Structure 1
Amino acid sequence: MTTDLFAIPVEKLRGVSTQKAGELHALGISSVGDLIDYYPFRYEDYRIRALHEVKDGDKITVQGTISSAASLQRYGRTARLLCRVTVEGLLITAVWFNRAFLKDQLELGREITMTGKWDQRRRQLTVAESEFPDRGGAKTGTLQPVYSVGGSLTQAWMRKKIDEALNQYGAMIPELLPAELLNRHGLIPRREAVMRLHRPENTKEGQEARRRMVYEELFLFELKLQAYRAANRKQPDGIAHPVNSEEVRAFVAALPFELTDAQKQVINEITYDMKRPYSMNRLLQGDVGSGKTVVSAVALYMTVRAGYQGALMVPTEILAEQHARSLGKLFEPYGIQVGLLTGSLTDRKRKDVLAALQMGLIDIVIGTHALIQDDVVFRRLGLVVTDEQHRFGVNQRSILRKKGLNPDVLSMTATPIPRTLAITVFGDMDVSTIQERPKGRKPIKTYWVKHEMMDRVLGFIRREAELGHQTFFICPLIEESEKLDVQNAIDLHAELRLAMPELAIGLLHGRMTPAEKDEAMGDFAAGKTTVLVSTTVIEVGVDVPNATLMIVMDAERFGLSQLHQLRGRVGRSDLQSYCVLIADPKTENGQERMKAMTDTDDGFEIARRDLELRGPGEFFGTKQSGVPEFKVANLMEDFAVLEQARDDAAELTARPEFWTSPGYEGLRSYLRRETTLEGEPLD
């Protein structure tokens, strides 16, 4: 018999029909190994509890004696069954709904175990499940695992199949971790941990099992990253940019503002990477307005001065056009040619840009996902910069990287997250962080108001206008929607023009033509319009230093990090800026989100709270960012374990014996199965 549980089809288990196998496959379970590794996400607690220990509304399991005849009441299609039960000398009322068939089984003096919701005031238990000890109550006194199921798969069926798999194949569960790691961290063996996760005797056992499997999961993830790095950095694989430090210093000195110490530190880290003959893969994260773009400009300058081309990929055309203008102006004195490539270019203009790129006449190209199309060819691509990197899928970034011979890659994000999480989410990247505000910037004051206070909000706009300042007014939708009762940009624009005829009010949304968007944004940037009503197309990167007021309508419909991005469109000068959130806090987590926004304007703290409220998958958009979905580990709770696992994996893969010793064959087999050693970059 094979000893590889992942090579045994799940159909080998008795009772797994073709239909059931198909439904298991949909859950990612195709082998016995997959089934055994399919862990419960919580447990139903059927352990007997004393009534004096429980609170009103608790779900509890109690054991007692039936002390009155059962009565059945009917209300239309609803049947309500009641009887009195003595529990610990206390007479309580037990209620079942739509369980009329139980009436004859509720015999006076019979022992019964019941699980349900406790009503303290009425001394009443609304029973969800019940068992009779004289029939051998299977669940009483246990912690029952609860699995994610779908289709015709039930909890009872899934529990039974996993139980059978453990009975038949449990002895074959392999140990993946070397003894040195088990001893170092006091971890129980893998087989014991897997058994306990599916069949915990008590809470302590379950916690020990979880601790072991959390470490294993995070260690194996980090091992893949470290093994890839170790296996692929034995030979130089990238471009060693011959950086002239004097030229870089002169370029930085000529900038119209002084860089912060954090920006200088990050530039040093990037320069070190670009000088080495290994492909740079660095994540630059920093709060909105922290000055990431100018750091990327220095890196692009270095690649051009070294004889290479640079590419900057951004998520929206408005942002691409803004960068093309600002970087074009910055690089013009140095004779560096900047090109723009977006989906809205005319065929003729597009052909001209493509030809200039291929011939090397364009030094730096800025564009949207149009940069990754097949007909985009570079003469000598040396550096790829992606802005708001979590908005591009793994494949999109990979395609752009492959348009050069292992060019250096700098990914930027204004969604700052804890460094440990950044390491995990963004894979095999070195992480640089800017946590310092540019000099002279003041914190943005944030207020949360209800819709009834709109008149006061309009007064705020007028006061800022009298000072010569401008206002962004953001809406979640473009036009009316029957499904969502939210203010839309087109209607709001009309209403504001009626309410404030003395002010010039512009409109910007995603369905406008590129020329219309350019005109609307250009008028606002030039100060021709005082208020710009917009959808979230201005969320990222748009820079108007004279805008001091950001108003967000229906703010409860936005995620915390998105609200923080919007807020970051103001406060980009030495003027005091404000953000007003107009919100109905009754939505799920609405009040917590508004409180978080008014409590702090620190993007790292905002991101932490957003992660707590939404979880990593939704926060990053799992499919887009490549954030791993762990079976047991929780990235918010298990930071310390992640750091330890990373250190252990780095130490192990740095040892020559890791790659040759029989003691590590299990881990090397795992890496081969995961194709980590086949040379594809982890992203």
Structure 2
Amino acid sequence: MSDDLFAIPVAKLQGVGSRKAEELHALGVFTVGDLIDYYPFRYEDYRIRALHEVKDGEKITVLGTIAAMPTLQRYGRTARLMCRVMVEGLLLTAVWFNRAFLKEQLTPGRDIMLTGKWDQRRRQLTVAESEFPDRAGQAKSGTLQPVYSVGGDITQAWIRKTIDKALTQYGALIPELLPADIVAKHDLIPRREAVIRIHRPENSQEGQEARRRMVYEELFLFQLKLQAYRAANRKQPDGLAHKVNNDEIRSFVGALPFELTASQKQVLNEILHDMKQPFAMNRLLQGDVGAGKTIVAAVALYATIRDGNQGALMVPTEILAEQHTRSLTKLFEPYGIQIGLLTGSLSDRKRRDILAALQMGLIDILIGTHALIQEDVFFRRLGLVVTDEQHRFGVNQRGILRRKGLNPDVLTMTATPIPRTLAITVFGDMDVSTLRERPKGRKPIKTYWVKHGMMDRVLGFIRREAEAGRQTYFICPLIEESEKIDVQNAIDLHIQLKQALPQLGIGLLHGRMTAAEKEAEMGAFSAGETDVLVSTTVIEVGVDVPNATLMIVMDAERFGLSQLHQLRGRVGRGEHQSYCVLIADPKSENGQERMKAMTDTDDGFEIARRDLELRGPGDFFGTKQSGMPEFRLANLVEDFAVLEQARDDAAELTNREDFWSSSSYARLRDYLQRELREQNEPMD
């Protein structure tokens, strides 16, 4: 990451005018360094192969000799050019579509390279690209050609040529970032060589070696930031050492209307141990839906309040914020603990009153959405911040919280569980606690997969549950009809269900409703005043109505596995047997695999593993959901072993005194300072 390369505007390259520079800017390429680091996502294979190695229907590049004059046929606007070509002693037919201009060049006896789809039965090659070896400047065939993400007026040919110019002109400036001992330890090729090979691979082995080197570097630098941040914060006490009264905690837990599971007790001990330390806690609490994360967080909040501090609970939606406000008010009311609610829909007057009470210390726990980290929110003495699913903070967001004044302990909860080893490695700056047990009395949710034609049976299921006094969620992907996507929408479905089930109360909930409308609909459903709630995925996380026993998901194939599991987790929260019905198209891509996974297991960790396999880490670890960067080359599933090794190397290096002082690591320290400075988090 040389300052030199990243200080040179991409417009300095020959052939990159102002218009092309703007096109590159749209791709995130602003400097020569950005361009050199703009790696291909795959390669087109133009290497010559023998016909006997190729299966029918495969793409192939062959070298042959034109054996006869070509023939040209026209069908309206379509032109088909055919020519007999001798390849490896076999006479085959080469076919071009809409390439009539080639007819004059296809002269018998001339050598030609052809790339296209092989039809073994007809001995025919449908040509996608062709070249003449005797023509200067045509050297694509016989090589691996990189394929880049392009857009606008930027073509593959242009970006290949431009990157080639950058490597030729500035390749000597590509720096070596990794220390020599790490390069030697893992037998990695030099960085300059790896970057050039990624863009210009001579063969598959070269490309694999280059990728191995750059994948390790990418994961190592990611882990280095996490480990350096952690090591720097462990150098001196920087947090609030809570005075936890164990007798008070035992009394509070003993007064709960249920007994904590062994798993809940274990993670609570881990959290309270962290809170007692003089270092700011940064812990991830992960657990399956319904595993009881919220009550663990409530005990931790109780502990910080009993030590004279305030707590904050940040959640992804206003509906969830309002629900937590109701449940925690009920829980803490006997102890005189005051709860406040701060969301974006509050009136200016209510917001001012809340902020004033918070600053004076009259509010003990503030619950809200991302409004909690706005600049005008001040706590008198903030001791613990609990964040929910979609707010797994990165360094920058934690910096905002630290500037609230007390460098509070941070507990992040997620109901999208991933294997503990992967969690520890991905969130390297966090300690990880995992809840595996379900609370006692929770019954497994029975899950069924049905086709769209079985709606009458689904309606009968709703009626039977309603007759037994139970309630139903009915989820669909869209709010209103879309011409682009043929899926059931909430508004139409609401009308249809009212007609099909006139004796039942049918509610409607979606993201475009006002906060008051949402609260009224959820309140009616929670109170049992409506039997069926038609909703979009706004109810996905955390909504808790114990009397709801049936979850129906329309067009279920359009949801990810983890999202389906989250939706399923909205039922099964009471004493009654609960069910999940997935209405899905069996022919959809990945649809069968997803539905099979959902009906096979209700273990969130197994669901998450299968979701990673089906969707890949790019979707699973979305930026909004987890704060994870999009890696250029690395794949968190395929390259997990490399990720673990990179984590261990980064942790070992940042714990060494000489890392922070030796000139051998100066380039890495410069990189860290630059990265953390951009996020307003200097290491010192």
Q: Same fold (TM over 0.5)?
A: yes
Report how far residue 182 of structure 1 moved.
Answer: 1.9
Q: Which residue of 2 aligns with 1:376?
A: 377
Contact 2:423 2:432 in 1 (8 A): yes
Q: Which residue of 1 aligns with 2:215?
A: 214
C-alpha distance in structure 1 between counterparts of 2:446 and 2:390, whole Å:
28
Is 1:54 the counterpart of 2:54? The answer is: yes
C-alpha distance in structure 2 between counterparts of 1:681 and 1:337, whole Å:
36
Which of 625-634 and 164-173 deviates more? 164-173
**1:579-606, CA deviations, whole angstroms, 9 ceiling, x for partnerless residues?**
1011224444333332332232222232
Structure 2 SS opposite 1:85: strand
**Counterpart amino acid of 1:114?**
L
Q: Which residue of 2 aligns with 1:451?
A: 452
Q: How does 1:339-350 map to 2 (within 5 A)?
A: 339-350=340-351
C-alpha distance in structure 2 between counterparts of 1:338 and 1:398, whole Å:
25
Structure 2 SS opposite 1:542: coil
Q: Which residue of 2 aligns with 1:119?
A: 119
Structure 2 SS opposite 1:298: helix
Q: Which residue of 1 aligns with 2:198?
A: 197
Which of 271-280 and 527-536 deviates more? 527-536
Q: How does 1:187-586 map to 2 (within 5 A)?
A: 187-390=188-391, 399-419=400-420, 421-422=422-423, 428-586=429-587
Contact 1:70 1:82 in 2 (8 A): yes
**Cα distance change on mapping 1:270 and 1:681 into 2, 3 Å:** farther
Which of 363-372 and 326-335 deviates more? 363-372
C-alpha distance in structure 2 between counterparts of 1:498 and 1:31, whole Å:
60
Q: Which residue of 2 aligns with 1:100?
A: 100
Structure 1 SS opposite 2:139: coil
C-alpha distance in structure 2 between counterparts of 1:450 and 1:617, whole Å:
30
**Cα distance change on mapping 1:230 and 1:340 into 2, 3 Å:** same
**Cα distance change on mapping 1:108 and 1:666 into 2, 3 Å:** same
C-alpha distance in structure 2 between counterparts of 1:563 and 1:394, whole Å:
30
Q: How does 1:553-632 map to 2 (within 5 A)?
A: 553-622=554-623, 625-632=626-633
**1:141-199, CA deviations, whole angstroms, 9 ceiling, x for partnerless residues?**
21111222333333223222333333343344322222221222222222222222122
**Cα distance change on mapping 1:530 and 1:401 into 2, 3 Å:** farther
Structure 1 SS opposite 2:312: strand
Contact 2:316 2:391 in 1 (8 A): no
**Counterpart amino acid of 1:364?**
I
**Counterpart amino acid of 2:197?**
R
C-alpha distance in structure 2 between counterparts of 1:391 and 1:447, whole Å:
32
Contact 1:508 1:520 in 2 (8 A): yes
Contact 1:389 1:411 in 2 (8 A): no
Report how far residue 396 of structure 1 moved.
Answer: 6.2
**Counterpart amino acid of 2:365?**
I
C-alpha distance in structure 2 between counterparts of 1:30 and 1:350, whole Å:
42
**1:285-318, CA deviations, whole angstroms, 9 ceiling, x for partnerless residues?**
2111111101110110011001001111112222
Q: Which residue of 2 aligns with 1:28?
A: 28
Structure 2 SS opposite 1:631: coil
**Cα distance change on mapping 1:212 and 1:511 into 2, 3 Å:** closer
C-alpha distance in structure 2 between counterparts of 1:367 and 1:229, whole Å:
28
Contact 2:550 2:579 in 1 (8 A): yes
**Cα distance change on mapping 1:108 and 1:674 into 2, 3 Å:** same
C-alpha distance in structure 2 between counterparts of 1:645 and 1:513, whole Å:
47
Q: How does 1:145-164 map to 2 (within 5 A)?
A: 145-164=146-165
Which of 185-194 and 54-63 deviates more? 185-194
**1:253-278, CA deviations, whole angstroms, 9 ceiling, x for partnerless residues?**
22211212222221122112211122
C-alpha distance in structure 1 between counterparts of 2:333 and 2:254, whole Å:
16
C-alpha distance in structure 1 between counterparts of 2:399 and 2:450, whole Å:
44
Contact 1:384 1:401 in 2 (8 A): no
Which of 338-347 and 128-137 deviates more? 338-347
C-alpha distance in structure 1 between counterparts of 2:348 and 2:437, whole Å:
43
C-alpha distance in structure 1 between counterparts of 2:285 and 2:519, whole Å:
29
C-alpha distance in structure 2 between counterparts of 1:528 and 1:29, whole Å:
56
C-alpha distance in structure 2 between counterparts of 1:463 and 1:296, whole Å:
37
C-alpha distance in structure 1 between counterparts of 2:64 and 2:349, whole Å:
84
**Cα distance change on mapping 1:502 and 1:3 into 2, 3 Å:** closer
Structure 2 SS opposite 1:133: coil
C-alpha distance in structure 2 between counterparts of 1:603 and 1:672, whole Å:
38
Contact 1:450 1:583 in 2 (8 A): yes
**Counterpart amino acid of 1:47?**
R
**1:535-585, CA deviations, whole angstroms, 9 ceiling, x for partnerless residues?**
222211111222221111122232222221111101113432211011224
**Counterpart amino acid of 1:16?**
V
Contact 1:444 1:601 in 2 (8 A): yes
Report how far residue 214 of structure 1 moved.
Answer: 0.7
**Counterpart amino acid of 1:314?**
V
Contact 2:428 2:647 in 1 (8 A): no
**Cα distance change on mapping 1:511 and 1:141 into 2, 3 Å:** closer
C-alpha distance in structure 2 between counterparts of 1:387 and 1:420, whole Å:
21
Report how far residue 421 of structure 1 moved.
Answer: 5.0
Contact 2:340 2:365 in 1 (8 A): yes
Report how far residue 393 of structure 1 moved.
Answer: 8.7
Report how far residue 623 of structure 1 moved.
Answer: 5.2
Structure 1 SS opposite 2:134: helix
**1:475-494, CA deviations, whole angstroms, 9 ceiling, x for partnerless residues?**
22334444443333333333
C-alpha distance in structure 2 between counterparts of 1:202 and 1:599, whole Å:
43
Q: Which residue of 1 aligns with 2:83?
A: 83
Structure 2 SS opposite 1:563: helix
**Cα distance change on mapping 1:99 and 1:479 into 2, 3 Å:** closer
Structure 1 SS opposite 2:305: helix
C-alpha distance in structure 1 between counterparts of 2:3 and 2:678, whole Å:
23
Contact 1:497 1:505 in 2 (8 A): yes
Structure 2 SS opposite 1:310: strand
**Cα distance change on mapping 1:182 and 1:319 into 2, 3 Å:** same
Which of 157-166 and 454-463 deviates more? 157-166
Which of 475-484 and 314-323 deviates more? 475-484
Which of 645-654 and 243-252 deviates more? 243-252
C-alpha distance in structure 2 between counterparts of 1:13 and 1:345, whole Å:
52
Which of 91-100 and 516-525 deviates more? 516-525
Structure 2 SS opposite 1:5: helix
Structure 2 SS opposite 1:135: coil
C-alpha distance in structure 1 between counterparts of 2:376 and 2:11, whole Å:
47
Report how far residue 61 of structure 1 moved.
Answer: 0.5
**1:224-263, CA deviations, whole angstroms, 9 ceiling, x for partnerless residues?**
1112222233222221111112221222222211212222
C-alpha distance in structure 2 between counterparts of 1:681 and 1:265, whole Å:
34
Contact 1:390 1:620 in 2 (8 A): no
Which of 413-422 and 136-145 deviates more? 413-422
C-alpha distance in structure 1 between counterparts of 2:583 and 2:325, whole Å:
34
Q: Which residue of 2 aligns with 1:669?
A: 670
Contact 1:617 1:627 in 2 (8 A): no
C-alpha distance in structure 1 between counterparts of 2:485 and 2:643, whole Å:
41
C-alpha distance in structure 1 between counterparts of 2:468 and 2:66, whole Å:
78
Structure 2 SS opposite 1:556: helix
C-alpha distance in structure 1 between counterparts of 2:675 and 2:349, whole Å:
46
Structure 2 SS opposite 1:134: coil
Which of 585-594 and 542-551 deviates more? 585-594
**Counterpart amino acid of 1:84?**
R
C-alpha distance in structure 2 between counterparts of 1:454 and 1:392, whole Å:
42
**Counterpart amino acid of 1:636?**
V
Show structure 1 runs of 5+ residues with no match.
none
TM-score normalised according to structure 1 size: 0.93
RMSD over aligned CA atoms reads 2.6
Contact 1:286 1:415 in 2 (8 A): yes
**Cα distance change on mapping 1:572 and 1:401 into 2, 3 Å:** farther
Report how far residue 511 of structure 1 moved.
Answer: 4.0
Contact 2:551 2:570 in 1 (8 A): yes
Contact 2:41 2:147 in 1 (8 A): yes
Contact 1:47 1:143 in 2 (8 A): yes
